[in-house]
Amino acid sequence: MDEKSNEITAIPKLLNALELAGTVVTVDAMGCQREIASLIVEKKADYVLAVKGNQGLLAEQVRESFLLLNSDAVSEEIDCGHGRVEQRRCSVIADLSMVDKAAEWASLKGLVRIESERYHKATGKTEREIRYYITSLRPDASLLNRVIRQHWGIENKLHWVLDVGFGEDLDRKRAGHAAQNFSLLNRLALNLLKQDTTFKRGIKGKRLRAAWNLPYLLKLLGI
């Protein structure tokens, strides 16, 4: 719970430090808070906030809206790559009548449902998932489908790099806050390695060079 509380308090600090005017801010369910939505709007930006169990009543009301109300816009996309075929269907509802105190969410304009189906060619396995969001954007299903896809693309790419370059999935640190602390250090190291353009190798290659070459390590650290 402490880790989650720290994340909630960290999000406003990060938002205040950024120039957000004219952008769309996407935040995981942990950041689905009225105060965060208000701050994003105050910064003259729009938001797409994931809705999960942390917002029990809101999550229930969003799900029920899609069961009982007609969608105002629908968009479908199909992606092929990395040995899989993924179909995403985005539905948007502008009717907020089933959401209690909807007016307390700054500039709330729509409810979003993403239905995704992934077929893995190698195994023949099909995975299905439904995710829900609230947004200050107009009910443009094509735009929202693209915005949410980009959010998860960044998440997936980061996790893939940390797994391949740093072996996070094989990490067995469990004591205390060791896993969280080392994960933070990995991300700091990853940012330093990505900023370096003098050595044309992948992240794993740059890590090895930093371990073997002290001048290169000091250069990465700015020393």
Using CB atoms within 10 A of its CB, is residue 85 exposed (0-12), middle (13-18) or buried (19+)? middle
CA distance 73 to 113: 11
Percentage of the chain exceeding pLDDT 70: 80
Confidence category of residue 194, pLDDT binned at 50, 70, 90: confident
Identify the pLDDT of residue 180.
64
Is the pLDDT at 222 greater than 90? The verdict is: no
Q: Which residue has the higher pLDDT, 156 or 93?
A: 93
The answer to whether the predicted template modeling score (pTM) of the entire model surpasses 0.85 is: no
Query: Tens digit of pLDDT for each residue in 111-134?
Result: 999 999 988 888 889 999 999 999
Q: How far apart (Å, rounded) are the C-alpha atoms in residues 50 and 37?
A: 12
What are the tens digits of pLDDT across the range 40-70? 999 999 999 999 876 779 999 999 999 999 9
